[in-house]
Amino acid sequence: MSQAASSKDLDALKAELTAAIAATASSAALDEIRVSALGKKGRITDLMKLLSTLPPEERKAQGAALNVLKDEIAAVLDARQQILAAAALQDRLASESIDVTLPIRPQGEGRIHPTSQTIDEVVTIFASMGFTVAKGPDIESDIYNFEMLNFPPDHPARQMQDTLVMPPLDGKPMVLRTHTSPVQIRTMLAQKPPIRIIAPGRTYRCDYDQTHTPMFHQFEALVIDEVTHMGHLKGCLLDFLRAFFGIDDLPIRFRPSFFPFTEPSAEIDIGCSRKGGELKLGNYGDWLEIGGSGMVHPNVLKNCGIDPEKYQGFAFGMGIERIAMLKYGIPDLRTFFESDLRWMKHYGFLPLDIPNPALKG
Ligand code: 2NL
């Protein structure tokens, strides 16, 4: 027969455990004490296991005393756990806080490039009309850049003097894409109509003067559905151009044109005035070319596995830098690519001051 622990023994154990608990600095240390006291082989648990070996007259009093001790220690452990958790939270709040009164770094010199700004604006407007953005590689196969777009083999754009040619890949002729149309080809090959996408991105041509750089940006829009017609094309262009330039009565005009990949094709003009040698956009009677458009050629649809008897659609394209120059009064295209910080300071945009056409009025 074992002997019951005296109430003095129990008081001493309680004092020892309480002091150890009060001295813990972490949840892990606290857990160790919890296990050493109340765990399967804990000191209080061990004492409870001895109960069955006590004479019946001692068993009841000892059991009650141990239960009280167990509950008291559990309560002290829980209280300490709450204090440690609150302290840990305070530490995190203090170490992760941000001093919003510090000056911005590096002294607010950075600007958003007008090309990036303009792409953001174009994407925002088309997103509001239900378009999604499509992307593709800058280095394209001759097939996606020309062949699938119904360019005849002898078309002048396919000659070396206009196109930057890359080394062949797996025996396939490769080029730097001369337009973003191959992105639309990839989309039509991968998706079933209805299709409504815009493809903004870099394009490359072998040309350099005040209005041409070897790399520039353009965006193209593509809509394919069963009943899409030229009225939709003109309405879409009118909504986009009025929103982009922020001119509510900006007129547009179609002029007959030719592209291998559209039929019929049309140049897009917007209203302007050139009075006094100053170019002003608006309803002033004069016209300025802004891009090209048309109904997607049946051969292009066929090349992409889309039945031209069931589906038709429109496409158009514009130069990003060209519309940026007109909107923001930037006179020379070449300056977009010179990385001149003074130019960026003048024409660039502050990150927190982005004029977003979708948030206008
Ligand atoms: C311009 C003219 C245009 C397109 C681009 C297109 C794409 C496919 C099929 C049919 Cl996959 N058309 N794109 C159509 C007409 C004009 O761009 O002046 N761009 C700067």
| Nearest atom within ligand 1 for CA of residue 304 | 11
User: Would you say the CB of residue 294 lies under 6 angstroms from ligand 1?
Assistant: yes
Q: Does 84 have pLDDT greater than 90?
A: yes
Read off the pLDDT of each residue in 4-21 and give the average, rounded to a whole number. Answer: 90
For residues 299 and 260, is the Cβ–Cβ distance under 8 A? no
| Of 3-12, 293-302, 328-337, the least confident | 3-12
| Of 84-88, 129-133, 149-153, 262-266, the least confident | 149-153
Q: Where are the alpha helices (DSSP H) in the chain?
A: 7-22, 27-38, 43-49, 56-95, 114-128, 142-145, 181-190, 230-245, 298-303, 320-328, 341-347
DSSP, res 208: -
From the CB of residue 78, how many other CB atoms can be counted at a distance below 10 Å? 11
Q: How remote is the CA of residue 119 from the centroid of ligand 1, in Å?
A: 17
Report how far residue 198's alpha carbon sits from residue 119's, in angstroms, rounded to the nearest whole number.
11
- Residues in CB range of 294: below 8 A, 6 or more apart: 233, 257, 259, 261, 262, 263, 264, 265, 266, 314, 315, 316
**What confidence tens digit (pLDDT) does each residue in 320-336 have?**
999 999 999 999 999 99
**Residue in 261, 290, 302 to alter for ligand 1 test, most ligand atoms within 8 A of Cβ:** 261
**What confidence tens digit (pLDDT) does each residue in 148-194 have?**
999 888 877 776 568 999 999 999 999 999 999 999 999 999 999 99
Instruction: Please report the pLDDT score of residue 6 as a whole number.
Output: 84
pTM of the model: 0.71
Q: How remote is the CA of residue 157 from the centroid of ligand 1, in Å?
A: 14
- One-letter amino acid at 77 equals L
262 burial (CB, 10 Å; 0-12 / 13-18 / 19+) is buried
Q: How remote is the CA of residue 214 from the centroid of ligand 1, in Å?
A: 19
- Residues in CB range of 143: below 8 A, 6 or more apart: 172, 173
DSSP string, 117-176: HHHHHHHHHHHHTT-EE----SEEEHHHHTGGGT--TT-GGGSTTTS-EEEEETTEEEEE
Q: Name, of 32-41, 63-72, 144-153, 238-247, the range with top average pLDDT.
A: 238-247
User: Would you say the CB of residue 292 lies under 6 angstroms from ligand 1?
Assistant: yes
Peptide bond into 298 cis (omega under 30): no
Please, which pLDDT band fits residue 357 given cuts at 50, 70 and 90?
low
Instruction: Please report the pLDDT score of residue 361 as a whole number.
Output: 42
Nearest to 232 by CA among 267, 196, 183, 259: 196
Q: Does 143 have pLDDT greater than 90?
A: yes
| Nearest atom within ligand 1 for CA of residue 188 | 11
Q: Does 122 have pLDDT greater than 70?
A: yes
Read off the pLDDT of each residue in 90-113 and give the average, rounded to a whole number. Answer: 83
Please, which pLDDT band fits residue 353 given cuts at 50, 70 and 90?
low
